[in-house]
Amino acid sequence: MGQQRTDLRNLAIIAHVDHGKTTLVDAMLKQSHIFRDNQAVMVRVMDSNPLERERGITILAKNTAVTYGSVKINIVDTPGHADFGGEVERVLNMVDGVLLLVDAVEGPMPQTRFVLRKALALQHRVVVVVNKIDRANARTDYATNATFDLFIDLGATEEQADFPIVYTDALRGQAGYTPTTLAPDLQPLFDTILKSLPPPSVEPDGPTQMLVNLLAYDDYKGRIAIGRLYAGRLRRAQEVIRIAKDGTFHPDKVAQVFVHQGLDRIEVEEASAGEIVAVVGLEEVGIGETIADKDNPLALPPIRVDEPTVQMTFSVNTSPFAGREGRWSSSRSLRERLFKELEHNVSLRVHDTDSPDSFLVAGRGELHLVVLIETMRREGFELQVSRPEVIFQTDPETGERLEPFERVSIEVPEEQGGLVMEMLGGRRGRLMDMRTGDQGLVHYEFTVPTRGLLGFRQAFLTATRGTGQLHSLFHAYEPMVGEIRGRDRGSLVAWEAGVATAYGLANAEGSGILFIGSGTEVYEGMVVGEAAKERDLEVNVAKRKHLTNMRSSTSDVAVRLTPPRQMSLDNCVEYLAEDELLEITPKSLRLRKKALDRHERKRGRIARQ
């Protein structure tokens, strides 16, 4: 393509969850004097979404820009979690190079592999940043060697595998070319970016061409289309042609044009090719569409993203407590919200079902769907969801049924290795690699059917007493393996409606682990705990103690209850059995049976037998 624009660099930062990516962006912003000296800046400034700050992960890709000397560097912070791969794939289309951030202790991890594979396939150049070298047990040689092995494993070209390495301590904002000599600031990192990552190749005088990669929304400006301007210029009030994904042309007009500077969008009269721009005024624009020249409209190749692997049914809340706590609970508002999500969440799919109150929602993994549920919950929605299930495919040649498999990376203390092997063996996992690290840790690589991983995380954390690390990544669709046993314990189900009493809970406690405490309102068919045995058990948690006029020395002593198990949204979704639903309101999470009436459940069991 045309000439190179040397005053600009467009790069993405890719890394595994929690390797310090967002912290490094903070330091780059501070050192390029984006903030006033006396300005209070929150930590992890790029994780602006409350869910991201709580979970400590990046979910949405975000743009920022810093200026180093006379060069503007556009930086896109990408999610490190495979469930948000749709975000990653769009972002990599906007940039010419990437910073690959690797933890000096852990080395490259599974999610790094996912994003790096996409970047190498697009022929992007890579600068490797080994971060957290200040940690006591940092292994910089191991991290760099393992990164090189990963490049070779992913089929990098000779040029790509000859990558520059910069060592950083992002918290202190220092960088260096060797782990032992760090400069007082990030200058070595900035210099390496300018030297090693190519400037954008542009056609400044060609017809306007911009690919829409991201969408944002502003209450005052409306929909904001963000993407890279490949050719030509974009001006305020310019008339353009919007080329939809199906190739149809739609005349439109740009109201305002913005570029990124620091964390702000700055309005400009005109932006030229190579720049990452935000455009306001195109109300119908969607991701993957081209904004083209009015007189010579040329489409850019649309973005392709991997298909979803897991689906859940979202439906209107039908529990006896429906409508008490949420602002939005009708099927119309639920449908509108789900279809609106499709505008920017490109790896999500929503389908209508036979029932007007239920919708099939498919995503890239459990976390992808859980984040959507949590977002809707915070917006005031009330709904119920079914257990996640995998999406099967059929081999077009053999007609064989295929199911998704994931590559699972596990790190556990040595004494728990046998337990993990047994757990994943029962879920049809195949051991691909095993190595013993230092500090008594064992590292395993498995391929496991996605079916076997549904509900596994909680059991794994319990079995390893929270010491195990588990990361998974979509591997491929393969021929279906045999039956996988689900949960090996039943549920404790409320016998009747009422308010849970200490006396009723004390009686139920002997049958399993409770999820609710005294004073909780329950209804018939609500799941109040996990049974100790394989089958469901009905318990009367609202039972009251009969009063007598006889008094004994012990009758009035308060009942001592074991604290109930705290169930987060992730825990609840993992716990669900096939005949159960999760009722979600802005204030409560309630597990329940699909059939609330116990006689109806009994009839259903007999019919299945």
Over residues 560-573, mean pLDDT: 83
User: Does residue 437 sit in helix, strand or coil?
Assistant: coil
Cross-strand pairs, 352: 359
**Beta strands of 51-160 (E only): which ranges?**
62-68, 71-77, 97-103, 125-131
Tokens of 549: 């006029």
- Contact call for residues 92 and 213 (beta carbons, < 8 A): no
Confidence of residue 60 (pLDDT cuts 50, 70, 90): very low
C-alpha 226 chain-centroid distance: 21
Whether 304 has a pLDDT exceeding 70, the answer reads: no
d(CA 120, CA 95): 12
Q: Are strands 430-436 and 441-449 parallel, antiparallel or unpaired?
A: antiparallel
Cα gap 519→436, rounded to integer Å: 49
pLDDT, residue 164, reads 92
Please determine whether the domains at 3-201 and 393-479 fall in the same fold group of CATH. Answer: no
- DSSP letter at 515? S
Tell me how many degrees the CA angle 437-441-445 measures, rounded to the nearest 5: 75
Interval 192-209 mean pLDDT: 88
Round the CA-based radius of gyration of the chain to a whole number and report it.
Answer: 27
Q: Which of 174, 450, 502, 423 is nearest to 308 (CA)?
A: 450
Query: Residues annotated in the binding site for GTP, as ranges?
Result: 18-23, 131-134
Q: What is the DSSP letter of 210?
A: E
* Over residues 373-398, mean pLDDT: 87
As a dihedral over the C-alpha atoms of residue 180, residue 181, residue 186, residue 187, rounded to 10 degrees, the angle is -150
User: Rounded to whole angstroms, how far apart are CA atoms 599 and 601?
Assistant: 5
Tell me the average pLDDT across 116-134.
86
How confident is the model over 67-118, as pLDDT tens digits?
888 888 888 877 644 444 455 667 788 888 988 888 888 777 766 776 788 7
Q: How far apart are CA 594 and CA 603, in angstroms?
A: 13
Q: Is 203 helix (H, G, I), strand (E, B) or coil?
A: strand
Residues of the chain above pLDDT 70, percent: 86
CA distances from 109 to 284, 473, 595 (A): 39, 10, 43
Q: Which tens digits make up the pLDDT trace of 159-193?
A: 888 899 999 888 888 889 988 888 888 889 989 99
Residue pair 541/525 in contact by the 8 Å Cβ criterion: no
Please list, residue by residue across 230-254, b when 16 or more beta carbons sit within 10 angstroms of its beta carbon and e when fewer do.
bbbbbebebebbbbbeeeeeeebeb
Q: What H or E segment, with its residue span, contains residue 117?
A: helix 110-121
Task: In whole angstroms, give the CA distance from residue 10 to residue 37.
Answer: 27
E strand or H helix that includes residue 314: strand 310-315
* Domain range summary for the chain, segments of one domain joined by +: 3-201, 203-293, 393-479
Strands 270-272 vs 264-268: parallel, antiparallel or unpaired = unpaired
Contact in structure between 261 and 306 (CB atoms under 8 Å): no
CA atoms within 13 A on the CB side of 469: 15
pLDDT of residue 59: 39
| Other Cβ atoms within 10 Å of 456 Cβ, number | 20
Average pLDDT value for residue range 342-360 = 82
- Superfamily of the domain at 203-293: Translation factors (2.40.30.10)
pLDDT tens for residues 267-277? 888 888 888 88
Tell whether the model's pLDDT for residue 58 goes beyond 50: no
The whole-number pLDDT of residue 438 equals: 60
Residue 554's pLDDT band (cuts 50, 70, 90): very low
Q: Is the model's pLDDT at 286 over the cut of 80?
A: no
The dihedrals phi and psi of 161, each to the nearest 5 degrees, come to -75, -15
Cα–Cα nearest to 338, from 365, 306, 316: 316
**Could you tell me which residues are annotated as the binding site?**
18-23, 131-134
Question: For the domain with range 3-201, which CATH number is right: 3.50.50.60, 3.40.50.300, 3.40.190.10, 3.40.50.1820?
Answer: 3.40.50.300
**pLDDT tens across 213-233, in order?**
877 777 677 778 888 888 888
Q: How many C-beta neighbours within 10 Å does residue 191 have?
A: 17
Instruction: Name which CATH class applies to 393-479.
Output: alpha beta
Pair 131, 44: CB distance under 8 Å: no
Sheet architecture: strand order including 276-280 = 249-253, 239-243, 290-293, 209-218, 222-231, 276-280, 256-261, 264-268
Determine the Cα angle at 483 with ends 480 and 487, to 5°: 130
pLDDT digits (tens, 9 = 90+) for 90-102: 778 888 898 888 8
Contacts of 398 (CB under 8 A, 6+ apart): none
Q: Which of 176, 147, 140 is nearest to 162 (CA)?
A: 147
Phi and psi, residue 468, nearest 5°: -80, 150
Residues 231/209, Cβ–Cβ less than 8 Å: yes
